[in-house]
A and B are shown apart, each in its own frame.
Chain A
């Protein structure tokens, strides 16, 4: 009964530690690698909860696409280890005040923080009939995503269109001084007059 609690705390503490490393390292590539570690830990947490479709979606989209995009941009921008001209303690008071105010607000309401399982719990029993007749996560999401929330599905398609347009407008450099081959012209040429017999000797 305590394995899932232990695994939960393992994954969540690794996720929080890795997120602290993301914001405090000076080498950008290390930051991106710790970001990938955060994503993998949260995906593991979601697997524990039973949302397996969303967990693998998170891995595929976040790690496979977004983190790789971050790595491409880090490599392209040639960021060296940045030396800070302002001291490290410059912005710290305001940041810490903001953080502690928000954290106090949110912590003060959650009085039920029971870390070590010292409270009396009920017994868990598993009803195998409902476990067998359940819908899987992907079936449950699919039943509702294309029927009731179909408008949001189409709208997110439009958002992806906007992202594609934005990435192309902002960053595409079409170079005009590069010679390219046009295969369709090469295949379509009329090669009737390309070879000619010349009589050299009369």
Chain B
């Protein structure tokens, strides 16, 4: 019942966190070495820890077992989701190497918090009980509140942290209230026990209070995923946080919370499907609408990326309507393509620095990339390919992702929302192509001088480009993994 094998990567990372904390505190207050800054040191150490934990997780065999008094679960989905999360974190780490040195984020505890956030996300994918859901989501959210406000001398950062804290804690309180209502009415907290209780309850036998409790929990989970109409925190927080932290927020937690949402909706509350189908439909509709029209009025790069990620989340929720194998596998496929695309575009955004005499400044406004094609043609080409993939133009990977999601939605006869999604994608194409026009066809009077990108981030940009450009040759490579990952959610 108490099994260490399936949480072995987390235990490894936790032991390393303890050792790193002691190492960091001991050496950074060492006066005879001159209070050294351990930033670069910790970068490389954390990279090594993550590579070893990836090898550890990879060499395990995927088991199917319930762990720790049925509080955790381990199955195919968690095995592959853990591998994807650790890989995505290694990618994020490589692309933020140059940023933390340049921006003088000198806290070595930043990297320890990043490792703790990885542990939290690995635990979220394995959660199987209402208590575990609450504790692991709180664990991850607390770390994100600190990370959002880590630049404590910047007004943007502290305001973003405060807004994120208040709205995030509000959502956690909703999650708690919903689970207290569910526990008070059923007496159970385990997700599989709840699904056995609800088996076959149809029609008038479902009491109204239980639906209220379930809706509270669903609202809280949709808030954490930044789906509309609960998305108001995400543009402000993405804008205010330092940009490598924005990359972290935008790439990593979505897959973990999506997995949790699947387990919650499709496994436990499958019998309530007539109630949550309309809620998810409204959320997907509003997300695609707000994500498309919100990005029109933006002039800043980070808010633009925030609204575009709300658009992508609308597509995630779209394929959740039917709940069969193909639709879940298409959502996970979209999730993987989303991680690759976001890594690529953040590899560009984090490391592009313009040099106007005696100061370098970052990419902040959308109009800063005007005339990029003349100063750096390869970078402009890379950005063009990534923007095409986000818009959904074939033969990039984004097109296949949207295609599979729309196929799954059409299978359940949701024609209206599919036509709406296609129309909104066409409208979204407009502003992506406007950006590409800015890059290629606008000429500025004085050309911008750019510093060369850090080598590691150009590695990530290149890998993401390969993934996006050449996925159409062998789509099977990714879709087999997503099919395997979606088997545990079958009913």
In the complex, A touching B, CB below 8 Å? Answer: yes
Q: A149-B131, A162-B116 are in contact. Are A155 and B139 (CB under 8 A)?
A: yes
A158 with B139: CB separation less than 8 A: yes
How far is it, in angstroms, between the C-alpha of A109 and the C-alpha of B209 when the chains are bound? 7
Contact B131 A166 (CB under 8 A): no
- Encode contact with A along B116-144: 1 for CB under 8 Å, 0 otherwise: 10010001000000011001101100110
Query: A165-B146, A169-B107 in contact; A151/B72 too (CB < 8 A)?
Result: yes
Q: Is A152 at the interface (CB under 8 A from chain B)? A: yes
Set of chain B residues within 8 Å of A159, measured between Cβ atoms = 135, 138-139, 142
Contact indicator A152/B146 (Cβ below 8 Å): no
Give the bracket for the number of chain B residues in contact with chain A: 20 to 34
Chain B residues with Cβ below 8 Å from A149 are 69, 71, 131
Closest to B113 in A: A165
B223 at the interface (CB under 8 A from A): no
* Contacting residue for A152 out of B135, B142, B145, B150, CB 8 A: B135
Residues of B within 8 A of A152 (CB): 71, 131-132, 135
How many A residues have CB within 8 A of the partner chain?
21
Query: With an 8 A cutoff between CB atoms, is B152 at the interface?
Result: yes
| CB–CB A148/B69 < 8 A | yes
Asked if A105 CB lies within 8 Å of chain B CBs, one says: yes
* Chain A stretch 150-194: residues in CB contact (< 8 A) with chain B: 150-152, 155-156, 158-159, 161-163, 165-166, 168-171
A162 contact from B2, B113, B123, B152, Cβ within 8 A = B113
In the bound complex, what is the Cα–Cα distance between A151 and B68 (angstroms)?
7
Contacts of A94 in B (CB 8 A): none
Interface residues of A in 130-150 (CB under 8 A from B): 148-150
Give the residues in chain B near A161, CB-CB below 8 Å. Answer: 116
Nearest B residue to A170, CB-CB = B152
Residues on B with C-beta less than 8 A from A169 are 107, 109-110, 113, 146, 150
Q: In angstroms, how far is the closest chain B Cβ from the Cβ of A159?
A: 5
Interface string of B95-116 (1 = CB under 8 A from A): 0000000000001011011001
Asked if B292 CB lies within 8 Å of chain A CBs, one says: no
Across the interface, name the chain B residue whose C-beta is closest to A163.
B142
A106 within 8 Å of B (CB atoms):
yes
Residues of B within 8 A of A106 (CB): 212
Closest Cβ–Cβ distance, residue A175 to chain B (whole Å): 14
Expressed in whole angstroms, the minimum distance between the Cβ of A91 and any Cβ of chain B is 15
Complex CA distance for A155 and B107, rounded to whole angstroms: 24
B424 to chain A, nearest CB (A): 29
- In the complex formed, the residue of A with least CB distance to B14 is A158
**In the bound complex, how far is the Cα of B116 from the Cα of A158, in angstroms?**
9
User: Can you give 19 A-B contacts (C-beta < 8 A)?
Assistant: A106-B212, A109-B208, A109-B212, A150-B2, A151-B71, A152-B131, A152-B135, A155-B132, A155-B135, A156-B135, A158-B116, A159-B135, A159-B138, A162-B146, A165-B109, A165-B113, A165-B146, A168-B109, A170-B150
Q: Give the A-binding residues of B (Cβ under 8 A).
A: 2, 14, 68-69, 71-72, 107, 109-110, 112-113, 116, 119, 123, 131-132, 135-136, 138-139, 142-143, 145-146, 149-150, 152, 208-209, 212
